[in-house]
Structure 1
Amino acid sequence: MKIELSHIKRGLILEIKGEENTLFEISDEDVMQYGEAKIQLKEGCSYEYQFSEETIKFKEGSKKNTIVSHSKFGKHKGTINPNIFVGTHSLEIENYSTLLPIEVRSVKSEYRSDYRYMLESITERCTDLIMQIDSPINQHFETNFDTDSQTLYQRFSFVKSLIDSLEFEEAIQKIVSNPTTKWEEEHEEKDIRRIRRFNQKNIRQLVTKSNRMDLSRDHYLNKSFGLKSIPTKIDSTRKIESIDTAENRFIKYALEEFLFFCENCEVKFEKYSTAKFESKLLVTKISTLLNQTFFKQISRPTSLKLNSPVLQRKSGYREVLNAWLKFDLAAKLIWHGGDNVYDAGKKDIATLYEYWLFFKLLELFNEVFDIEPKSIEELIQYDKGQLSLNLKQGTAIAMKGVYKSPSRNLNIQFSYNRSFGGGKTYPNPGSYTTTLRPDYTLSIWPEEITEVKDAEKTELITHIHFDAKYKVKNFYELISKSKDEELSEQENKELIDEESEEIKKGTFKNQDLLKMHAYKDAIRRTGGAYVLYPGEGKNEPFRGFHELIPGLGAFVVKPNKDNKDKEHLKTFIKKIIANFIDRASQREYTAVKIYDIHKDEKDDTNILNESMPEYLDSAKKEKLIPDETFVLVGYCRNNSNIKWYKKEGKYNFRIDDDKGSLSLETNVVNAKYLLLREPGKDTANKIFKLKSKGPKVIQGKLLPDGYITKKLKDYYLVIDIEKEESIDFNGASFNFKELEKYKTIKSKNNHVTAAGIPFAVTVTELMKTKLKN
């Protein structure tokens, strides 16, 4: 593309080279409509430039030229690297005090409409917040045009989003084409011969009005009216339809207020800047509207009748009234978090999308939960006569609320940019690796626990994270290439090359998916991490197991007035709430188990040594949890009974009040192994695997022959065991007398009676008493 710069120096040409379909030149009509520069480049691409004269160059070190790099072969040429900075860049040419505007275009075709809609939506939400604030006093704000130009441009953009829109223009045209009117009486002097019907006022004027003409003698004698003369003209009135109504005066007043603000902005903005160009366009647009014949027939208002039904209800008038009510606040609201959005005329649409999503999520969560009004009011701050919006990247915001249901009440906290500190040890909240900061976090825990820290330490809180990704087109394309299939060596190489190229361009897509995994895996008590993006795709998140959370995924949320996207997300949040209300859910069970396992600190070196087998149940290859696997420690009077146990595959316990009877506790019923101790021995090594879960009651007389006892009891508890000793413990011997449970029984009973009392211990406890070879 060759650009003529004769207005700077005769014959000067700037040549820009780039990849195909990355250089554009828009029409003058589009320049006026969108307020963009005529020369347009595409973000994420690199361009070479060169002036036709070596003495001409872009000013080095200028803040305006941050995307320009000089060549080592001459400063009159170099490269332009816009990266992701979308918007207008005014490149400064050295020694000519001239700025060359270029527009960096987003790769997304919808960015123009998205940018305008999101800015308008944020403006509307902010002004709504201000109007909702319950203040005990009335505040008076005045627009200060002497503040720094960046803040002024930010406020100008707020106002521009209100009035420089197709909806606002259509509202004015509706008013002009179908205005509200009123009937008025118009006074005029009319020739008496043209009056067709006389009223009482006209008749009186026949006698009193001057400028008279004489009637002929015959006329007044014959008619006997007694009038010898009549006026040639009399005063007459007629009804006319007028557009000079109170409502139309307000419309004109509102447009003049808009014009006054934009004109003052234009004066204050820097010469040759994008802001000055945009304000000039808006001034021209409003002036064109006011110069219509319609508004020339309307006088200035003496009062504003804002309670007029026409202003509040009629199409066209209603929209202008709404814009005017928001304008006064938008012109005075300062948003320090918008620095990246408005700085130097760039349109950081990705950041704007993140801010817009905050308000979208806040609206959604406010519909599902009862968020404390005080939390919402804290978004708007009034300090030293200045209104400001407390929403800024890197600054955490937390809003608390509750969810009430007949079966269970929940506390919730909606956080923006909450920081989860790195290196946190259990059970402290945060990340156990590096510090992570999701865009949005929804935290949910039972109402009975009032403090977030207590909920964290008892594993009863769950975090759901969301990240805004404006540049993502289709999240599920990120995983479709490798899903349910093995890539060939050539396909794998192509995929690696593609990812390497994306990393160089700064558009590596897979990092969005990996970041969600990082949130889920590193931040303690995370139930899910999800991408929010304005593209295409399905709204079906991936489930880690059988329930909705834990999981990963993405939701489409486009910046438009269609609430369909929001409803998908709302349905998902309601499903999460349903999962929390279910006290028997897998998520709840897992949380309780995690707390139970980790609540006590243990020394890993003194529990399970190298003798612990990989699979406790070697036949089923089933990995059992040592702390939850129980071993019954029973007593055998003689070797003959051991033979009986093996032959019959049964072991029996007493079921009376005598010493040696078995108490049916949970760990007894759930036992998987039986360890037999014999009289006169301090150790035991005979371990049998239980075949059935829990004992059965059998009459003593029904026991098979061969069981030796001094006195047969009426009833016994019998458990089925394997007929051969288990090899799961590799023939290990255990000093059962070192078991705490055995010591407790012995201390409560004398030595003789304590010997036969059965009890149950965990595998972990049993392994502590294992004899070393």
Structure 2
Amino acid sequence: MTSSTFEILLNNKSSIKITLWGEQSDENSILKIDAAEAFENGEAEIQIKEGLSYEYQLESGYSFDSHELIKTSRSNSNSGRIVPNIYVGTISFDILNEERQKCGVLKLEVRSVKTDYRGDYRMMLEDITEKCTDLILQHSSPVTQLLETDFEQDPSTLYQRFAFIKSVLDSEEFKDAIHKIVINPVTKWMTVEAERDIRNLKRFDSNVMRQISGSSNRINIPEFHTLNQKGILRTLPQKINSYSKKESIDTPENKFVKYALESFLDLVGKIKIIVDTKTRLHSEAAILEDQLEQFLNHSVFKEVSRLNTLPLNSPVLQRKEGYREVFRAWLMFELAAKLVWHGGDDVYSAGKRDVAKLYEYWLFFKLLDIVNEIFNIKPKGLDQLITPINKNVIGGTLGLNLKGGKRIAIEGTYKNEIRNLKIEFSFNRSFSGKKEYPSGGSWTKDMRPDYTLSIWPEAISQEEAEREELIVHIHFDAKYKVENLKELFGDDPENDANEENIQNSLNKEKEEEAKGNFKRVDLLKMHAYKDAIRRTGGVYVLYPGKSNEPYSKKGFHEILPGLGAFAIRPDKANDGSLEVKQFLNEVVRHFLNRASQREKAAYRTYDIHKDSLSDEVHEPIPEAYGNNRSLMPDETFVLVAFYKSEEQLKWIEENGLYNLRTGSNRGSLNLDCGVTSVRYLLLHGNNETKTARLIKLNDKGPRIFSKQDMVLKNYPNPRGEFYLVYKIENEVEEEFKDKIWDITKLKNYQTGRGSGMPFSVTLSQLMKAIVKD
């Protein structure tokens, strides 16, 4: 157990001590960072880790006010436990004196277990801002952009709007853009006018000649000068206005950059004034204000005058490196300042920095881009993401409707020459456990994966596709705190399992569970989605790992059904999305295969369960294994057929054949699957309604014999032109021996002259006609 003692400055400038003990043996569970580093990152100096527990001890006479993350000791009010759970960010605990009056504040920074969460947080927020800007700027955007913002109108959303703005201005891309501009600013050649002594002129043009002849402030030309002697000129102007070209940085584009920086600075300054000086928002605004002032103090901007008009159509702003990034940042800034994110409270309300929740939101946009690219669709429903708030108010805000627990569904159609498919990408889609089969939903409790990709044929509705087993759901779940596959699947998911390894792995898991670490929960959750949600084709974990090697387990022989994991992370150079794209490309090829095993299995499921009732068999029949593996009572057919004489029965037994006439005459039958794929033959004679003559047939199916073929086989008196002939294989299984069947109990049996008509029944139906003793 590690411990650290810190001094806390109270309101009266005195100080008290607090001691923290980390309950886990983690050397970095309690840290105190430098004040400059804390200020730069907008954090508290004393830092602890999420997911861990800490004991604390204040000096006697002091205690903490009640707080959801504090459990005060019953025996001593100045001690207890701090349990941050999954909270990440700055938390403030009010310190009370003996009179229960507030006398100070303890600020703790709860760090994420991920060491690089600061950079991840900043980059993901920047990406979300950029994506929202793209959506707002789309031609089909339902709002008119008014580039004015009044932060005082809605102080409850102040921090989350500032977080958007900060993500734009605090990015490395923006800083690099300013650096490129100041070292290589755009210039233009300007004509400069200056008065010069006429004696210093070296070049004469028409403008100079006009000034020589007409300018005032003239001096006399000496009498001995040629011009005077010849009477051409007697006086000359003392000064001449000359014009020259000079390179200047006072261009419209540089004026715009200066204007943008001043706009940023002005707005950040207003935020700083509005908020309490003790809040994280104030400190972060101060950091950003200082950074912007440094940019504006560069010598380049001292030579640039004020902007009169916005040069929005300037090719330099739209294309030149550095300028285009600032121009885009300005657009993002203006729009982000107006954007209210309804899910923002989940990420950064009250000083929180829930990087895991932000990762979940960030992945939504990443997956949306991937789905649009792979399936080449123009999605419907994007207008659900950005909607106007207070439409009737000039300068009204915009809402980003991305919030945990709220479903967003984006739908499109994938067009292909082989087949057209409907695609739906959902965030937080719920699968109800209250819907009965065959409706979509869960078999048990309600389930809600983070993201669901649903695919079904274009020609039918999603509800119909659910009923007919024609839809497939692929689920993705975000796990920011998973760093590698070992955490999720064990030491080496590819190694062949043996009993010893399995036992060792399970023993380790039991030890971890005893310590309160439930790493297996994420894996079990994957299986829960796969097994509980109807028509699930695959479940995949998304985590911000460094490896680009995906882990995928195919359920059988094809890409679906399956389980797996993909590393996808906030990284400008390589975010891991390529591997997800490759996976979805395989999914596309899989759906274009019209003879896939998954399609067959889906049809079998539909065919089996389309009727609520099925035949029951409570009689002994052969076990379905080995050569009899396909012996399914409802799909095994028996031909109930007639022999007309003892002579024909003798021929059947001697030749191992049984024949049926074909054609349109009486006694022939339709060649349906119940006739062509029969597995058994039940023979009966004239006036014989109870029979034990069950014969097993060759499973290769019947053959066609001509009348001449039957003559060569010594068939007695063949009258038909063609015959359907079955080959008798061998004796029936033990379970069927000594059984007698009453054919009058069979559904298709006919009385009178029709009693000799052949007909087929399933084995399930046949077993109901057994004659009981």
Q: Which residue of structure 1 lines up, in the alignment, with residue 582 of structure 2?
A: 571
Tell me how far apart the structure 1 counterparts of residues 548 and 330 of structure 2 sit (CA, whole Å).
Answer: 39
Tell me how far apart the structure 1 counterparts of residues 640 and 158 of structure 2 sit (CA, whole Å).
Answer: 82
Q: Which residue of structure 2 lines up, in the alignment, with residue 513 of structure 1?
A: 523
DSSP-derived class of the 2:496 partner: coil
Q: Answer with 186-195 or 7-16: which moved more.
A: 186-195
Q: Which residue of structure 1 lines up, in the alignment, with residue 556 of structure 2?
A: 545
Q: Which residue of structure 1 lines up, in the alignment, with residue 439 of structure 2?
A: 428
Q: 1:473 aligns with which of 473, 483, 486?
A: 483
DSSP-derived class of the 1:442 partner: strand
Matched, 1:120 2:126: yes
DSSP-derived class of the 2:334 partner: helix
Q: Answer with 183-192 or 38-47: which moved more.
A: 183-192
Tell me how far apart the structure 2 counterparts of residues 493 and 400 of structure 1 sit (CA, whole Å).
Answer: 43
Q: 1:5 aligns with which of 4, 8, 18?
A: 8
- The aligned amino acid for 1:607 is E
Matched, 1:498 2:511: yes
User: Residues 657 and 740 (structure 1 numbering): CA distance in 2 closer, same or farther, change over 3 Å?
Assistant: same
Tell me how far apart the structure 1 counterparts of residues 157 and 410 of structure 2 sit (CA, whole Å).
Answer: 27
For residue 766 of structure 1, report the CA deviation from its aligned partner.
1.3
- The aligned amino acid for 1:491 is N
Q: 2:462 aligns with which of 448, 452, 465?
A: 452
- The aligned amino acid for 2:19 is E
Q: Which residue of structure 1 lines up, in the alignment, with residue 766 of structure 2?
A: 766
Does the 8 Å contact 1:86/1:104 carry over to 2?
Answer: yes
User: Residues 736 and 455 (structure 1 numbering): CA distance in 2 closer, same or farther, change over 3 Å?
Assistant: same
Q: Answer with 514-523 or 673-682: which moved more.
A: 673-682
For residue 359 of structure 1, report the CA deviation from its aligned partner.
1.0
User: Residues 111 and 253 (structure 1 numbering): CA distance in 2 closer, same or farther, change over 3 Å?
Assistant: same
- The aligned amino acid for 1:470 is Y
Q: Which residue of structure 1 lines up, in the alignment, with residue 81 of structure 2?
A: 79
Tell me how far apart the structure 2 counterparts of residues 236 and 32 of structure 1 sit (CA, whole Å).
Answer: 55
Matched, 1:244 2:250: yes
Q: Which residue of structure 2 lines up, in the alignment, with residue 615 of structure 1?
A: 623
- The aligned amino acid for 2:757 is I
DSSP-derived class of the 2:300 partner: helix
- Give the percent of matched residue pairs that are identical in Structure 1 and Structure 2: 46
For residue 100 of structure 1, report the CA deviation from its aligned partner.
3.3
DSSP-derived class of the 1:494 partner: helix
- The aligned amino acid for 2:384 is E
Instruction: Encode CA deviations 1:227-282: one digit per residue, 9 max, x unaligned.
Output: 88877766555543322221111111101111111111112223311111111111
Q: Which residue of structure 1 lines up, in the alignment, with residue 284 of structure 2?
A: 278
Q: Answer with 690-699 or 511-520: which moved more.
A: 690-699
Q: 1:44 aligns with which of 51, 66, 79?
A: 51
Aligned pairs for 1:63-74 (under 5 A) are 66-74=68-76
User: Residues 682 and 250 (structure 1 numbering): CA distance in 2 closer, same or farther, change over 3 Å?
Assistant: same
TM-score of the pair, normalised by structure 2: 0.89
For residue 37 of structure 1, report the CA deviation from its aligned partner.
2.5
Aligned pairs for 1:249-264 (under 5 A) are 249-264=255-270
- The aligned amino acid for 1:2 is T
- The aligned amino acid for 2:123 is Y
Q: 2:21 aligns with which of 17, 28, 40?
A: 17
Alignment gaps of 5+ in structure 1: none
Does the 8 Å contact 1:43/1:83 carry over to 2?
Answer: yes
Q: Which residue of structure 1 lines up, in the alignment, with residue 497 of structure 2?
A: 485
User: Residues 448 and 228 (structure 1 numbering): CA distance in 2 closer, same or farther, change over 3 Å?
Assistant: closer
DSSP-derived class of the 2:343 partner: helix
Q: Which residue of structure 2 lines up, in the alignment, with residue 721 of structure 1?
A: 728
Instruction: Encode CA deviations 1:75-125: one digit per residue, 9 max, x unaligned.
Output: 323222222222222333334564433222222222122111111111011
Does the 8 Å contact 2:60/2:78 carry over to 1?
Answer: yes
Q: 1:522 aligns with which of 532, 535, 554?
A: 532
Does the 8 Å contact 2:62/2:95 carry over to 1?
Answer: yes
- The aligned amino acid for 1:416 is F
User: Residues 732 and 704 (structure 1 numbering): CA distance in 2 closer, same or farther, change over 3 Å?
Assistant: farther
Alignment gaps of 5+ in structure 2: 391-395
Tell me how far apart the structure 1 counterparts of residues 665 and 321 of structure 2 sit (CA, whole Å).
Answer: 92
Tell me how far apart the structure 2 counterparts of residues 731 and 466 of structure 1 sit (CA, whole Å).
Answer: 57
For residue 378 of structure 1, report the CA deviation from its aligned partner.
2.4
Matched, 1:387 2:398: yes
Tell me how far apart the structure 2 counterparts of residues 499 and 613 of structure 1 sit (CA, whole Å).
Answer: 49
User: Residues 706 and 265 (structure 1 numbering): CA distance in 2 closer, same or farther, change over 3 Å?
Assistant: closer
User: Residues 392 and 6 (structure 1 numbering): CA distance in 2 closer, same or farther, change over 3 Å?
Assistant: closer
Does the 8 Å contact 1:372/1:399 carry over to 2?
Answer: no
For residue 697 of structure 1, report the CA deviation from its aligned partner.
3.5
- The aligned amino acid for 2:17 is I
Aligned pairs for 1:338-487 (under 5 A) are 338-369=344-375, 371-372=377-378, 374-384=380-390, 385-449=396-460, 451-475=461-485, 478-481=488-491, 484-487=496-499
DSSP-derived class of the 1:681 partner: coil
DSSP-derived class of the 2:537 partner: strand
DSSP-derived class of the 2:756 partner: coil
Tell me how far apart the structure 2 counterparts of residues 221 and 701 of structure 1 sit (CA, whole Å).
Answer: 139
User: Residues 142 and 694 (structure 1 numbering): CA distance in 2 closer, same or farther, change over 3 Å?
Assistant: same
Q: Answer with 476-485 or 97-106: which moved more.
A: 476-485
Q: Which residue of structure 2 lines up, in the alignment, with residue 666 of structure 1?
A: 673
Tell me how far apart the structure 1 counterparts of residues 227 and 602 of structure 2 sit (CA, whole Å).
Answer: 117
Does the 8 Å contact 1:399/1:413 carry over to 2?
Answer: yes
- The aligned amino acid for 1:349 is V
Does the 8 Å contact 2:165/2:336 carry over to 1?
Answer: yes
- C-alpha root-mean-square deviation of aligned residues, in Å? 3.2
Tell me how far apart the structure 2 counterparts of residues 594 and 668 of structure 1 sit (CA, whole Å).
Answer: 24
User: Residues 100 and 283 (structure 1 numbering): CA distance in 2 closer, same or farther, change over 3 Å?
Assistant: farther
User: Residues 656 and 302 (structure 1 numbering): CA distance in 2 closer, same or farther, change over 3 Å?
Assistant: closer
User: Residues 730 and 245 (structure 1 numbering): CA distance in 2 closer, same or farther, change over 3 Å?
Assistant: same
Does the 8 Å contact 2:7/2:18 carry over to 1?
Answer: yes
Does the 8 Å contact 2:684/2:690 carry over to 1?
Answer: yes
Tell me how far apart the structure 2 counterparts of residues 670 and 85 of structure 1 sit (CA, whole Å).
Answer: 65
Aligned pairs for 1:136-147 (under 5 A) are 138-140=144-146, 142-147=148-153
Instruction: Encode CA deviations 1:143-195: one digit per residue, 9 max, x unaligned.
Output: 22224444111110101000012211111111111111223344555566665
Matched, 1:306 2:312: yes
User: Residues 190 and 37 (structure 1 numbering): CA distance in 2 closer, same or farther, change over 3 Å?
Assistant: farther
Tell me how far apart the structure 1 counterparts of residues 531 and 544 of structure 2 sit (CA, whole Å).
Answer: 26
For residue 3 of structure 1, report the CA deviation from its aligned partner.
2.3
Does the 8 Å contact 1:646/1:722 carry over to 2?
Answer: no
Tell me how far apart the structure 2 counterparts of residues 543 and 272 of structure 1 sit (CA, whole Å).
Answer: 54
- The aligned amino acid for 2:20 is I
DSSP-derived class of the 1:50 partner: strand
Matched, 1:90 2:95: no
Tell me how far apart the structure 2 counterparts of residues 546 and 203 of structure 1 sit (CA, whole Å).
Answer: 93
Q: Which residue of structure 1 lines up, in the alignment, with residue 606 of structure 2?
A: 595
For residue 29 of structure 1, report the CA deviation from its aligned partner.
4.4
Does the 8 Å contact 1:341/1:348 carry over to 2?
Answer: yes
- The aligned amino acid for 1:155 is R
DSSP-derived class of the 1:558 partner: coil
TM-score of the pair, normalised by structure 1: 0.89
Tell me how far apart the structure 1 counterparts of residues 763 and 699 of structure 2 sit (CA, whole Å).
Answer: 19
Q: Answer with 566-575 or 30-39: which moved more.
A: 30-39
Does the 8 Å contact 1:133/1:377 carry over to 2?
Answer: no
Q: Answer with 297-306 or 478-487: which moved more.
A: 478-487
Q: Which residue of structure 1 lines up, in the alignment, with residue 393 of structure 2?
A: none
